[in-house]
A = this chain, B = another copy of it.
Amino acid sequence: MTTISAGPGAGAEPTGVRHVKRPTPLRESVYEALTEMIIDGTLERGRHLVEVELAGMLGVSRQPVREALQRLNNEGWVDLRPGFGAMVHVPAEDEVDQLLAARAALESESARLAARHATKEDVARLRELCKIGTTYQESGDIDGTVRTNAELHSLITQMSGNRFLVDFAAQVDRRVRWYYTPVAPVRGAASWREHNRLVKAISEGDEDKAAQTMREHTEHTRKAYHDLQSGTPSPEPPPEEESPRRRRRTTN
């Protein structure tokens, strides 16, 4: 997230300058709460969000809610219509494609830099995450799988040491996590085999291979999503934005 490490001076202290517990602003908590509610489907796509309603729901006043909504708007989670309110964003047809294309660029570069800077501990942690993810995947725990997937990607970007890549990729990944859940079971095992190859490339410090593997990995994900949506004759008719109340979210 936003880093406060000032120290423009020559000698920034890399060793633990651990700041003690700083009380989080309410708007931050509201922001977190809302994204979580959007991701887990509590706030369905297209739903009209009213400030006072959310404020009451969360036990705060309008102000923090407004500020959180504006941030959500800036990051594309909701669409703010002046004078009417916020609607939970409804992803466009090609949006996932674009999102994953952006992710490919960001994370491929991250993987390259991660391979360049990887430490022993990093690699160990990567291997651990791969193992955990594979276990989740085999046991059919979709939620755990998606979460671990996000953690793995997040760690790799952090290993790049580039705060901009970290920030952007974090935003993208969070969005992907939102859209991606229905795809996860389809990708399944293949995804984690690719993760393993990726980690191997990073551990060997092979930058090109890491970047390439990450790009292919994301590309496969993109294709999987595409196939799922067009290819599979799923009995699901295109969501005609009708009666969002009809049925509850299927569990996937």
Residues in chain B near residue A5, CB distance under 8 A: 92
Residues in chain B near residue A162, CB distance under 8 A: 98, 101-102
Contact of A101 among B2, B25, B27, B109 (CB under 8 A): B109
Within 8 A of B (CB), among A67-112: 67, 70-71, 73-74, 76, 79-82, 90-93, 95, 98-99, 101-102, 104-106, 108-109
Instruction: Report yes or no: A73 in contact with B8, Cβ–Cβ below 8 A.
Output: no
Instruction: Report yes or no: A81 in contact with B4, Cβ–Cβ below 8 A.
Output: yes
Within 8 A of B (CB), among A145-179: 161-165, 167-168, 172
Within 8 A of B (CB), among A2-37: 2, 4-9, 12, 22-23, 25, 27
Known contacts A8-B92, A90-B6: A165-B102 contact under CB 8 Å: yes
Residues in chain B near residue A70, CB distance under 8 A: 27, 67, 70-71
- What is the CB-to-nearest-CB distance from A207 to chain B, in angstroms, rounded to a whole number? 13
Query: Is A241 an interface residue, CB under 8 A from the partner?
Result: yes
Docked Cα-Cα span, A110 to B209, in Å, equals 22
1/0 per residue, CB under 8 A from B, across A99-141: the answer is: 1011011101100010000000000000000000000000000
Instruction: Report yes or no: B82 in contact with A22, Cβ–Cβ below 8 A.
Output: yes
Docked Cα-Cα span, A79 to B167, in Å, equals 15
Instruction: Report yes or no: B168 in contact with A8, Cβ–Cβ below 8 A.
Output: no
Docked Cα-Cα span, A108 to B215, in Å, equals 14
Closest 7 CB pairs of A and B: A105-B109, A102-B164, A98-B162, A8-B90, A168-B168, A105-B105, A102-B165
Instruction: Show 21 residue pairs from A and B whose CB-CB distance is below 8 angstroms, ordered by the A residue.
Output: A2-B79, A5-B92, A8-B93, A8-B241, A9-B241, A66-B67, A67-B67, A71-B74, A74-B74, A76-B167, A98-B162, A98-B163, A99-B164, A101-B113, A102-B162, A102-B164, A102-B165, A105-B105, A105-B106, A105-B108, A168-B168
* Further 13 A-B residue pairs, CB within 8 A, beyond A98-B162, A105-B105: A5-B92, A7-B92, A8-B93, A12-B92, A22-B82, A66-B67, A70-B70, A71-B74, A98-B163, A98-B164, A102-B165, A102-B168, A168-B168
